[in-house]
Amino acid sequence: MGDQVLLAVIAIAIGVGFGILLFVPFVAISYRRRGRLSLGRTLLWLAALVYFWAIWTYTLLPLPDPDAIRCVGAITDPAAVVRDVQKAFTAEGNPLTQPALLQLVFNVLLFVPLGAFLRVLGGRGIPTSLLVGFGLSLLIETTQLTGVWGLYPCAYRFFDVGDLMTNTLGAVVGSVAALVVPPSMRGMAPRADAALPRRVTRGRRAVAMLCDVLGYWFVAAGIGVGAQLWLQYVAGDREAVLDGRIAEALSIAVASGAWLAVILVTGRSVGDHAVQLRYRGGRMPEPLARMLRWAGGIGGLWALQLLGGVFDALSSLLILLACVLLFTTRGGRGLPGLLSGRQLEDARAAAPTSGSR
């Protein structure tokens, strides 16, 4: 039981990690194809990510010690599945307590979510579920047959044709079961009303802020890691690597500069683009308004840390203030809206005429 819980934790951790990594593009695609971000659909996609990694963790992990493995052969007789079922039902006691039958049921259930996800999220039917289920199962079984593609000198888990059959059956069962989901909620096809403007809510603005924070952090982290690698292996400055200040300053400068460039060119941050929001109105010149939009967002607020000293604490306080203003300003326009004197609106709304405010 302990190993099973550990494998579940590993799958959840990796799935959530990939979910965070893919969150910004997922939000952007959702708003462009479906017009909004649905909590239920978001959780379904996260569940699909966790499920994908759960398949691999439960079928391949834990990896054994190479010196302690026991080489096994392959089960290539499809009729072995039928014999296992017959033995389970002819044996004394409850058939559901027989290990062979339990294994068969588990193999079917393991791939039921695959068929359901393919129909609900991908809009694919039984033929696709059958092919994908068989292909994924074959990949797993081949990985086991080859000793994880040569990582081990021989197979330490059975290649079983019966698993191919039951896994594929599970995917088909999942596809059929997902027919209960209304057709309007299936698939990835764009909604007819995706391009229509929608009401601006604080929740939507909060998602934009989260996209900005995550995007900024990934850019900064990538630059910081790259700088540390360069200092270590090109410049050979171990002291600078341990100090870390060069990499930190470079990561903040590049990430903040990237956010500034995007806002100056488009008038919107990465998060604004993701959730289809824009600031407009006010009386100040457009370039100044865009600069203040940047200054009130993650790029400008985090850039204060480049000045060091008291500005480190000021940066943290202003970020906290920006979070508070999300809930206390009209439409959640927040600090960027207050600084630039502008209001939030859906970016899909008709563009204002040149003389309007």
Phi, psi of 75 (to 5 degrees): -105, 105
pLDDT per residue as tens digits for the range 66-77 = 878 888 878 888
Instruction: Scan for tokens 């600078």, then name that residue.
Output: 240
Binned at pLDDT 50, 70 and 90, residue 20 comes out as: very high
Locate 105 and state its tokens.
């049921």
Which distant-in-sequence residues (6+ apart) come within 8 Å of 70 by Cβ?
156
**Before 352, cis peptide (omega within 30)?**
no
DSSP 123: -
Instruction: Please determine, for residue 90, whether its predicted confidence score (pLDDT) is greater than 80.
Output: no
**Which pLDDT value is given to residue 356?**
42
d(CA 219, CA 225): 10
Query: Which backbone phi and psi does 7 adopt, to 5 degrees?
Result: -65, -40
pLDDT for residue 295 is more than 50: yes
φ/ψ of residue 277, rounded to 5: -120, 160
Contact (CB, 8 A) for 117 and 188 = no
Question: What's the pLDDT score for residue 235?
Answer: 92
Selection from 100, 68, 69 nearest residue 82 by Cα = 100
pLDDT at 355 over 50: no
Q: What is the mean pLDDT of residues 267-290?
A: 94
Q: Pick the more confident residue, 61 or 109.
A: 109
Nearest CA to 107 out of 145, 144, 156, 141 is that of: 141
First to last CA, the chain: 64
Using 50, 70 and 90 to split pLDDT, how confident is the model at 274?
very high
- The residue among 286 and 62 whose pLDDT is bigger is 286
pLDDT-derived band at 210 (thresholds 50, 70, 90) equals: very high
In angstroms, what CA-CA distances link 348 with 35, 278, 344? 10, 9, 12
Single out the residue of 328, 327, 330, 297 nearest to residue 315, CA to CA: 297
Percent of the chain whose pLDDT exceeds 90: 61
Q: What's the confidence (pLDDT) of residue 2? A: 60
* Structure confidence at residue 96 as a pLDDT band (50, 70, 90): low
Q: For residues 345 and 282, is the Cβ–Cβ distance under 8 A? A: no
Provide the residue ranges of all domains of the chain, joining segments of one domain with +: 1-62, 69-195, 202-346
pLDDT at 349: 86
Distance (Å, rounded) from C-alpha 254 to C-alpha 261? 10
pLDDT per residue as tens digits for the range 105-163 = 888 999 999 999 999 999 899 999 999 999 999 999 999 888 888 888 888 888 888 88
Question: Which pLDDT belongs to residue 59?
Answer: 81
Question: Is residue 53 over pLDDT 70?
Answer: yes
Please tell me which residue, 251 or 97, carries the higher pLDDT value: 251
Q: What is the DSSP letter of 66?
A: T
User: How many beta carbons lie within 10 A of that of residue 98, not counting itself?
Assistant: 18
Contact indicator for 157, 73 with CB cutoff of 8 Å? no
Q: CA geometry: angle at 8 spanning 21 and 114, to 5°?
A: 75
Give the pLDDT mean for 235-261.
Answer: 95
pLDDT in tens, 24-41: 999 999 999 989 998 888
What average pLDDT does the structure give for the chain? 89
pLDDT at 78: 80
Specify the range with the lowest mean pLDDT, choosing from 11-25, 153-167, 226-240, 298-312: 153-167
- Record the tokens describing residue 103, joined without a space: 């294994």
In this prediction, residue 352 carries a pLDDT of 55
For residue 191, pLDDT over 70 is answered with yes
Side-chain half-sphere CA neighbours of 53 within 13 A: 19
Looking at residue 76, its pLDDT comes to: 80
